[in-house]
């Protein structure tokens, strides 16, 4: 074997080794990223999860609003990426505890009794005005001492929460998407899908409650979303009796 042939062979071998090392490195980084995503969502390989959907509050039938369907599609993509499986059930069929399976619960407490139960149990500092009568405080959020009203189509709010049951052996989180309108539920699910890595870095696998604002949805749909505040502490702290009496429409 002369020098030219030897150099060609060594070059091919070196290129093969470099390509193999590069592939191994990319595979390792991809798997590490996937494991972090699975840990954040509580969705290990082949695990089961629950998608709880509300009913369309504006329909007399047991229908699902199209924006809530879009939210379920966003969440289904997350579940599929984690290599997990999902069961879709309606809010009136969900009669089980929480923590055994990751749960994604979509819809405000006025149209989703499962959401109302979760908020009553885990977010004692939140009140939602579900009075059907029109008025400036209809669907307003009371979180601690702050009140957040809705301007339909212009400024609408949604709570995005990751909550853990805190019971031994029950480690799977519950994700809540509780908005003042259906389009805000989709906006919150999209926000979670786009920002889960940043949220995982900031909060780890701990509970958090974020208040988001959807800006000018009548023009921009669910795409323009602002983070109003991290309201975890206020949402998990029982409201004083005076504040509770001023807003009697507790999610329950």
Same domain (yes/no): 2, 109: no
Dump pLDDT digits (tens) for 107-151: 999 888 899 999 999 999 999 998 877 778 888 999 988 999 999
Same domain (yes/no): 34, 47: no
* Residue 78 burial by Cβ neighbours in a 10 Å radius (0-12, 13-18, 19+): buried
Same domain (yes/no): 117, 202: yes
* The pair of three-digit structure tokens given for residue 127, joined into one six-digit string: 């009140």
Residue 211 lies in a domain: yes
Same domain (yes/no): 139, 219: yes
CATH number assigned to the domain comprising residue 68: 3.30.379.10
Residue 146 lies in a domain: yes
Same domain (yes/no): 23, 47: no
- Per-residue pLDDT at 23: 61
Same domain (yes/no): 37, 84: no
Q: Are strands 141-143 and 146-148 parallel, antiparallel or unpaired?
A: antiparallel
Structural domain of 115: 43-246
CA-CA distance, 93 to 74, in Å (whole number)? 22
Q: What pTM was estimated for this model as a whole? A: 0.83
CA-CA distance, 2 to 133, in Å (whole number)? 92
Same domain (yes/no): 109, 185: yes
Residue 50 lies in a domain: yes
The structure tokens 């379920």 sit at 72
- Residue 150 contacts residue 156 (beta carbons within 8 Å): yes
CA-CA distance, 139 to 157, in Å (whole number)? 10
CA-CA distance, 117 to 95, in Å (whole number)? 11
Same domain (yes/no): 66, 14: no
Same domain (yes/no): 55, 12: no
Q: How would residue 251 be classed by pLDDT, with cut points 50, 70 and 90?
A: very low
Dump pLDDT digits (tens) for 1-53: 566 666 666 666 666 777 676 666 666 666 788 999 999 999 999 999 999 98
Same domain (yes/no): 118, 36: no
- Per-residue pLDDT at 189: 96
Bridge partners (DSSP) of residue 143 are 126, 146
Q: Look at phi and psi of residue 204 and say left if phi exceeds 0, alpha if psi is from -120 to 50, else beta.
A: left
Q: How many domains, the chain?
A: 2
């Amino acid at each position: 074997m002369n020098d030219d042939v030897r150099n060609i062979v060594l070059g091919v071998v070196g290129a093969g080794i470099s390509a193999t090392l590069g592939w191994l490195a990319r595979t390792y980084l991809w798997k590490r990223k996937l494991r972090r995503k699975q840990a954040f969502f509580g969705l290990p390989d082949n695990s089961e999860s629950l998608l709880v959907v509300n009913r369309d509050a504006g329909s007399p039938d047991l229908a699902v609003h199209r924006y809530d369907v879009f939210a379920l599609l966003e969440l289904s993509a997350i579940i599929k990426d984690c290599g997990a499986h999902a069961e879709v059930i309606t809010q009136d069929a969900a009669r089980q505890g929480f923590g055994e399976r990751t749960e994604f619960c979509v819809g405000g407490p006025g149209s989703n009794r499962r959401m109302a139960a979760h908020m009553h149990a885990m977010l004692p500092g939140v009140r939602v005005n579900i009075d059907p009568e029109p008025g400036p405080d209809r669907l307003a959020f009371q979180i601690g001492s702050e009140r957040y009203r809705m301007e339909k189509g212009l400024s609408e709010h949604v709570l995005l929460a990751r909550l853990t049951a805190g019971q031994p052996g029950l480690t799977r989180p519950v994700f809540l998407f509780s908005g003042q309108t259906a389009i805000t539920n989709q906006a919150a699910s999209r926000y979670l899908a786009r920002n889960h890595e940043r949220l995982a870095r900031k909060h780890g696998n701990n509970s958090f409650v974020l208040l988001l604002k959807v800006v000018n949805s009548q023009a921009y749909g669910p795409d323009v979303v602002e983070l109003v505040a991290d309201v975890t502490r206020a949402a998990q702290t029982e409201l004083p009796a005076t504040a509770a009496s001023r807003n009697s429409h507790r999610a329950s």
